Amino acid sequence: MFEDITRVSQMAKAAVAKNPKVINATVGVLLDDNGDILYSSVFDSIIPTLTPKEKYPYEDVLGPALMRNNVLKFLKQEKFLSKPNMTMITAGGTGALSNAISVFSKNAGLVVSELCWNNYFTIARGFQVDLYTYNTFDKDKYDLKAFEEALDKTIAEKENIIVLLNTPSHNPTGYDLSKEELQSIVEILNKKVTDGIKITVILDIAYYNFGLNQNLDPFLELNEDINLAIAYSFSKSFGIYGFRLGSLTMISKDNEKLEKSFYSSTRAKWSNPNKLGCSVLSKVLSSDELCEKVYEEIDKHMGVLTNKTTIFRNALEEFNIKTFPHTNGFFLSIPVEDPENVALALSENDVYLTTVEGGIRVAISGVPSYRLRELAEKIALVVNK
Ligand code: PLP
């Protein structure tokens, strides 16, 4: 029951409404200590200036040209983006993932770590894509051996291989894959390329601007027969969750052909992205000055998150609680033997969180900083029993 994020989140909200002592650690949204969303105020100044034409018509199916051309500004330090690419605007990061998985879904297998955002499973199942999960960590490092084994199994059984990686600030652990780990992953993938095997790597960088290791340069070395799909989200970094905007960038030999497939896939799902949101973001992304302001605000929000993370990690250490490998980000996960019962016991002690494979996930992002020590103490009471 506690693995269903939406359901637990609703239970937590109802519990908080009845009793303010309840701690809701389910929310994958960055909140300040008053419970308000941290978003970039630049958007507030633009929205009242929009004309009806910028708000009410349908948007272009793959998003407005101005935004598609400029969307990668926020990833500008990423050298692999200088390769020819096809970028489209999507309905959130979820839309980018859903489009990338559905377009390659024919007789496909999705290779993904056991610890991952649960919605990957929902999306894959929705397009009849089989799952090939692997153990996530070997001690404090990514389990590259398990990754390669899962990849080999998928190659033996499927026509389309989709490898989904979520870095930096992995959900649910907050882990950033290191440069060396990314290099090894690219080497493993390059070794597997032979005729008749179609591999697509999806990089889910939904939390990119909160990552400490933002350098995805190892992907410059990815064999050009492998498709690279970069799924970005405007929800997390910009704090505009309700705008439902994200982007998908394809670096592939078949960019042109793929654009047609993505067009059809979008028409069949959300038809075209949110016009109002696209108009606002087109204005921001085409102005260096506004981009700078947004960057400054993201830096401030990163400071809030880092402060919360430091408080929580110190408290976990004080109460002698081990975590899965963690770098930074909205989430942190704690290995426990019986996640469901631990989550149940915590809910009876006014703490709501979700379960993951072999552990519990704490969404630090949504908890006020002044309650994080108390949260760690309550977790310790149940986990250290
Ligand atoms: N990827 C990961 C790992 C996430 O946790 C989320 C949202 O929680 C997303 C992608 C999608 O974000 P959105 O659709 O809100 O842009």
Q: Which of 30, 39, 94 maximizes ligand 1 atoms within 8 Å of its Cβ, making it the mutation to test the pocket?
A: 94
Predicted local distance difference test score (pLDDT) of residue 332: 97
Ligand 1 atom closest to the CA of 116, numbered from 1: 3
Binding pocket residue ranges, ligand 1, CB within 6 Å: 28, 92-94, 117, 166, 171, 204, 206, 233, 235, 241, 246
Tens place of pLDDT per residue across the chain (385 aa):
777 777 888 888 888 888 889 999 998 999 999 999 999 989 999 999 999 999 999 999 999 998 898 887 777 667 777 788 899 999 999 999 999 999 999 999 999 999 999 999 999 999 999 999 999 999 999 999 999 999 999 999 999 999 999 999 999 999 999 999 999 999 999 999 987 789 999 999 999 989 887 788 899 999 999 999 999 999 998 999 999 999 999 999 998 899 999 999 999 999 999 999 999 999 998 899 999 999 899 999 999 999 999 999 999 999 999 999 999 999 999 999 999 999 999 999 999 999 999 999 999 999 999 999 999 999 999 998 8
Q: Looking at residue 77, what is its pLDDT?
A: 67
5-39+291-383 and 57-288 in the same fold: no
Residue nearest to atom 2 of ligand 1 (CA): 206
Counting ligand 1 atoms within 8 A of each CB, the residue from 71, 99, 113, 117 with the most, and so the one to mutate, is: 117
Q: For residue 105, what pLDDT is reported?
A: 96
Distance 384 CA to ligand 1 centre (A): 32
The best mutation among 98, 236, 244, 365 to test binding of ligand 1, ranked by most ligand atoms within 8 Å of the C-beta, falls on 236
Ligand 1 centroid – CA 234 distance (Å)? 9
Q: Ligand 1 centre from 206 Cα, in Å?
A: 6
- What is the residue with the minimal CA distance to atom 1 of ligand 1? 206
Report CA(120)–ligand 1 centroid distance (Å): 10
Q: What CATH code is assigned to 5-39+291-383? A: 3.90.1150.10
Domain boundaries, the chain: 5-39+291-383, 57-288
How many angstroms separate the alpha carbon of residue 94 from the centre of ligand 1? 6
As a three-state string, the secondary structure of the chain is CCCCHHHHHHHHHHHHHHCCCCEECCCCCCECCCCCECCCCHHHHHHHHCCHHHCCCCCCCCCCHHHHHHHHHHHCCCHHHHCCCEEEEEEHHHHHHHHHHHHCCCCEEEEEECCCCCHHHHHHHHCCCEEEEECCEECCEECHHHHHHHHHHHHHHCCEEEEEEECCCCCCCCCCCCHHHHHHHHHHHHHHCCCCCEEEEEEECCCHHHCCCCCCHHHHHCCCCCEEEEEEEHHHHHCCHHHCEEEEEEECCCHHHHHHHHHHHHHHHCCCCCHHHHHHHHHHHCCHHHHHHHHHHHHHHHHHHHHHHHHHHHHHHHCCCCCCCCCCCCEEEEECCCHHHHHHHHHHCCEECEEECCEEEEEHHHCCHHHHHHHHHHHHHHHCC
Tell whether pTM > 0.85.
yes
Which CATH code fits 57-288?
3.40.640.10
For residue 96, the CA-to-ligand 1 centroid distance in Å is: 10
Which of 110, 171, 333 is the best mutation target for the ligand 1 pocket, counting ligand atoms within 8 Å of the beta carbon and taking the most?
171
